[in-house]
């Protein structure tokens, strides 16, 4: 299995690792099949993600996907972060092996779950369709 230089870089030198104790939104997801667990913390001011941290227990692809996803949403408006897709994460990493694409799906789901948590904590109305449960047992939420 060959990994791109970007995947290896984000795996060996992950960005934004850690915890935000007073996070405005927290999203945790897991994959039952592979055992990966991803937790993303958001700090939001004036509708902008001013800080983001993650903790991921999983393979190199899961760590790289988490790292890249946090880099992609840091400094973005919440609405822009909601548009993050696993496909965009894979492209930013210059690809993932087919068997590891589910790791990028977890990153997308963790970001969305953290934003939903932020909305819920702050009583912000949102379209429930923005946060569908995939219903796919492969990506069960923790």
Interior angle at CA 25, CA 24 and CA 30, nearest 5: 155
Q: Which residues of 110-127 are buried (b: 16+ CB within 10 A; e: fewer)?
A: bbbbbbbbbbeeeeeeee
For this structure, is 34 an active site residue?
yes
Catalytic residue among 59, 103, 134, 137: 103
- Placement of tokens 């927290």 in the chain: 26
Burial class (CB in 10 A: 0-12, 13-18, 19+), 65: buried
Cα separation of 24 and 37, whole Å?
Answer: 20
For this structure, is 140 an active site residue?
no
Catalytic residue among 34, 59, 134, 140: 34
Pair of tokens at residue 67:
């790292």
- The catalytic residue positions are 34, 103
């Amino acid at each position: 299995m060959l990994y791109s230089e970007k995947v290896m870089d984000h795996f060996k030198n992950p960005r934004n690792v850690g915890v935000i104790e007073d996070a405005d939104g927290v999203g945790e997801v897991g994959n039952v099949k592979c055992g990966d667990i991803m937790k993303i913390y958001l700090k939001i001011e004036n509708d902008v993600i001013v800080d983001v941290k993650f903790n991921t227990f999983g393979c190199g692809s899961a760590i790289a996907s988490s790292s890249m996803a946090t880099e992609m949403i840091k400094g973005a408006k919440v609405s822009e972060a909601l548009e993050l897709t696993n496909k965009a994460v894979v492209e930013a990493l210059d690809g993932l092996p087919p068997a590891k694409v589910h790791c990028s799906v977890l990153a997308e789901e963790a970001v969305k779950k953290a934003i939903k948590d932020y909305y819920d904590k702050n009583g912000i109305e949102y379209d429930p369709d923005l946060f569908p449960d995939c219903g796919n047992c492969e990506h069960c939420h923790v």
